[in-house]
Amino acid sequence: MAPIPPAPPAGDDSHQQLLDQLDLTLMPRPFRNPHWKPSQRRNKNIKQIVGEASRKEASVLVTQNNSGSSTPHLQSSANATGSVTPLPGPAQVQTNISQAAQNLSTMVLERNLQASLSSGPIATYTNIESAPSLHPAHQKHYCDITGLPAPYTDPKSRLRYHNAEVFQVVRSLPQGVAEKYLEARGAHVVLK
């Protein structure tokens, strides 16, 4: 057996001072780094983003209308008189395709600009202001108790639930509590 060390005298506080010195709970621990500073970059809200996009589309439309690429090619005097028959070459086909693409993009931009100037936002593929679909097939149902996706509905209380465990909770709810859940979802019935 190992010998037992002698007990320290009653007036010796060196052991307690050592414990207090090594105690980590007494050390200050700041939540945030003292050298942290907030970012100087500002985030844009949706209204600013939409405004910049519409201004960008309008400037592209003005630029395309004033550029030389959208002006038709003039025929030479020899071609205009009919003395020379023009041969369709690959360069001529390429310019026609590029002109068609340019004209199509100009038409799309003009239509979007006219629609945006007329009466509020119009639902297009490039417009983020369009309203969400209200079609019942696109609406996901969520559990009234947990907030998880709810594939089931209790026929008795009309509450939506996620699984069998939540169903037991739904069935054990006191009188009137189910109505409160339906009221929170906006599906309660008010009789007059």
pLDDT of 10: 59
Contact 141, 149 (CB under 8 A): yes
Residue 93 has pLDDT above 50, yes or no: no
pLDDT of 140: 85
Residue 149 has pLDDT above 70, yes or no: yes
Structure tokens at 39: 């970012």
**127-136: per-residue pLDDT in tens?**
566 666 677 7
pTM: 0.32
Residue 35 CA, chain-centre distance (Å), reads 32
Structure tokens at 14: 């060196």
| Residue whose structure tokens are 């054990």 | 172
Phi-psi region of 120 (alpha: psi -120 to 50; beta: other; left: phi over 0): left
- Mean pLDDT computed over every residue of the chain: 74
For residue 63, give the amino acid letter. T
- Across 40-159, the runs of DSSP E, i.e. the strands, are 152-153
Three-class DSSP category at 177: helix
